[in-house]
Amino acid sequence: MTREIPYKIYLEENEMPKQWYNVRADMKNKPAPILNPGTGQPVSLEDIMPVFCEELAKQELDETTPYIDIPEEIRDFYKMYRPSPLVRAYCLEKALDTPAKIYYKFEGNNTSGSHKLNSAIAQAYYAKKQGLKGVTTETGAGQWGTALSMACAYFDLDCQVYMVKCSYEQKPFRREVMRTYGAAVTPSPSMNTNIGKKINADFPGTTGSLGCAISEAVEAAVSQEGYRYVLGSVLSQVLLHQTVIGLETKTAMDKYGIKPDIIIGCAGGGSNLGGLISPFVGEKLRGEADYRIIAVEPASCPSLTRGKYAYDFCDTGRVTPLAKMYTLGSNFMPSASHAGGLRYHGMSSIVSQLYADGLIEATSVEQTAVFEAGTMFARTEGILPAPESNHAVRVAIDEALKCKETGEEKTIVFGLTGTGYFDMVAYQKYNDGEMVDYIPSDEDIAKSLAELPNLES
Ligand SMILES: *Cc1c(COP(=O)(O)O)cnc(C)c1O
């Protein structure tokens, strides 16, 4: 019996996941181990404990436990803004005149405005449980810093945020939200850290990058007693926490007997995409089902589609361990695009391995086309999406338009990672017809890839 699909599929509180799903447990080809840059050997728990909270370090290295309990304190916090709705985009379908059925999982319904709160609250919880004084981090567009400042306020932890300079200047209101939640916010590269001073000297006038800000935040954490560094994406622990997105999506779809054909997510560091797709990839890996999965990245920062699958540093200052990932080189300085959350040179090692194994596809899209899609979405579905989310919207619309050509009634689900209220400078550029599509040249990419660490030496 098929039930009529409502506009919004809500779950009950008791249908929320009680465990995160660790997709690595089901991967035959595990992501390559993180290496200690000094020794070239896989990192041990002891290696990363000075940088990460203990429990998070364990999650980072755990590639065998399929389900990890979500502590009750975290689930209580989740209940304030989850389960998030899975929405049937009836109005968008109508506007596109497509036979495709489009769904989106909306993660923007909290003050931070994105999915990042799902991991921020987990990381703050484990820091508090360990008795730490505070945490340091970087933020690109500002969503992660906002999410972390909310989480730290909840658990009464100090929060120091290094914010990529171009966002700090473009988004003063994000900064003020963070300060309202009690965080200290510093534009990066700053003159507070040795690495910040060096980056400023080497790249005068740089507007920064996530890679720079990470270096600064790591330095700040290891040089202060009782502090650890936390990161909003890329790491396997973050992807693990973000599986609440995919688990809820799957539960909601199962409730109505819906099986997606295509699953789409934008990919910055890969955590929201990885979290959305994990339960579905798990089924693929176990041979239980098949799905087409598409990672969408900006043409200005195309790590999956034009990068190299190699060991690289996770930051510009080369202070972090080495991860094997699709990378544009840790020195790659993306152009000042408006999707700050997607301006990262590398990609989650889990997502990278899945891509290398052909379990997921990737595509890149240009900024103007992305905002065109976001604007159409806002006008039909009401929600004003974050620039990052618009990347997924673009490809969902493109796939739905292909269905219109072929007459196929495919079911498409995509991650609507957040809202764009703090990104109105970007929308203004688009509305004024002043948006530029930056695409790095092959030479630009080759130049930063030439500086990948040489592991043979
Ligand atoms: C950070 C962010 C992204 C990128 O997420 P990743 O998990 O790093 O790929 C996408 N959308 C929004 C709204 C974000 O804030």
- The best mutation among 109, 114, 303, 422 to test binding of ligand 1, ranked by most ligand atoms within 8 Å of the C-beta, falls on 114
Query: Confidence class of residue 212 from pLDDT cuts 50, 70 and 90?
Result: confident
Nearest CA to ligand 1 atom 3: 341
Ligand 1 centroid to 342 CA: how many Å?
7
Ligand 1 centroid to 416 CA: how many Å?
10
- The mean of the pLDDT values for the chain is 94
Q: Which residue has the tokens 């933020």?
A: 139
Percentage of the residues of the chain whose pLDDT score is greater than 90 = 87
Query: Hey, how many other C-beta atoms are within 10 angstroms of the C-beta on 28?
Result: 7
Ligand 1 centroid to 19 CA: how many Å?
22
* Identity of residue 242: Q
Encoded tokens for 20: 């995160």
- Atom number in ligand 1 closest to CA 232: 8
User: What is the CA 378 to chain-centroid distance, rounded?
Assistant: 22
Q: What is the pLDDT of residue 457?
A: 45
- 397 domain-assigned: yes
- Which one of 193, 220, 235 terminates a domain? 235
Query: Confidence class of residue 2 from pLDDT cuts 50, 70 and 90?
Result: low
CATH of the domain at 141: 3.40.50.1100
Q: What is the pLDDT of residue 34?
A: 94
- The best mutation among 104, 115, 277, 370 to test binding of ligand 1, ranked by most ligand atoms within 8 Å of the C-beta, falls on 115
> What residues are paired with 161 via a beta bridge?
137, 185
Q: What is the pLDDT of residue 424?
A: 92
Ligand 1 centroid to 453 CA: how many Å?
27
Same-domain status, 177 and 290: no
- Which one of 235, 264, 280 terminates a domain? 235
Same-domain status, 271 and 194: no
173-207: pLDDT as tens digits: 999 999 999 999 999 999 999 999 999 999 999 98
Q: Residue 278's closest CA among 101, 418, 105, 150?
A: 105
Q: What is the pLDDT of residue 315?
A: 82
Encoded tokens for 392: 């997924």
Q: Strands, E, within 337-396: which ranges?
A: 361-365
48-70: pLDDT as tens digits: 998 899 999 999 999 999 999 99
Q: What is the pLDDT of residue 456?
A: 56
- Atom number in ligand 1 closest to CA 387: 13
User: What is the CA 284 to chain-centroid distance, rounded?
Assistant: 22
- 316 domain-assigned: yes
- Atom number in ligand 1 closest to CA 108: 13
- The best mutation among 106, 143, 243 to test binding of ligand 1, ranked by most ligand atoms within 8 Å of the C-beta, falls on 143
Residue 137 CA to residue 190 CA, distance in Å, equals 14
Same-domain status, 183 and 241: no
Query: Hey, how many other C-beta atoms are within 10 angstroms of the C-beta on 380?
Result: 16
Nearest CA to ligand 1 atom 4: 268
Same-domain status, 167 and 105: no
300-344: pLDDT as tens digits: 999 999 999 999 998 877 888 899 999 999 989 887 777 777 888
Same-domain status, 387 and 428: yes
Same-domain status, 373 and 326: yes
Under 8 Å between Cβ of 351 and 267: yes
Query: Hey, how many other C-beta atoms are within 10 angstroms of the C-beta on 439?
Result: 15
* Identity of residue 261: D
Encoded tokens for 124: 């703050």
> What mean pLDDT do residues 230-259 have?
96
- 430 domain-assigned: yes
- 358 domain-assigned: yes
- Atom number in ligand 1 closest to CA 265: 9
Nearest CA to ligand 1 atom 13: 418
Same-domain status, 65 and 77: no
- 9 domain-assigned: no
- Which one of 202, 235, 268 terminates a domain? 235
- 2 domain-assigned: no
SS3 of 52-63: the string is CCHHHHHHHHCC
Burial class from Cβ neighbours inside 10 Å (0-12, 13-18, 19+) for residue 330 reads: buried
Ligand 1 centroid to 12 CA: how many Å?
26
Q: What is the pLDDT of residue 3?
A: 64
> What mean pLDDT do residues 233-259 have?
97
- Atom number in ligand 1 closest to CA 233: 8
Query: Confidence class of residue 289 from pLDDT cuts 50, 70 and 90?
Result: very high
- Atom number in ligand 1 closest to CA 419: 13
119-144: pLDDT as tens digits: 999 999 999 999 999 999 999 878 99
376-412: pLDDT as tens digits: 999 999 999 999 999 999 999 999 999 999 999 999 9
Q: What is the pLDDT of residue 1?
A: 45
Give this prediction's pTM: 0.96
Rg (CA), the chain: 20
Q: Which range marks the domain in which residue 269 is found?
A: 73-113+237-449
Number of domains the chain contains: 2
Under 8 Å between Cβ of 382 and 438: no
Q: Which residues line ligand 1 (CB under 6 A)?
A: 114, 116, 141, 143, 233, 266-273, 341-342, 386, 388-389, 417-418
| pLDDT beyond 50 at 150 | yes
Q: What is the pLDDT of residue 449?
A: 96
Encoded tokens for 347: 């990609």
User: What is the CA 306 to chain-centroid distance, rounded?
Assistant: 19
Burial class from Cβ neighbours inside 10 Å (0-12, 13-18, 19+) for residue 71 reads: middle
82-106: pLDDT as tens digits: 999 999 999 999 999 999 999 999 9
Same-domain status, 331 and 444: yes
30-47: pLDDT as tens digits: 999 999 988 999 999 999
Residue 220 φ/ψ, nearest 5 degrees: -65, -35
Residue 367 CA to residue 131 CA, distance in Å, equals 44
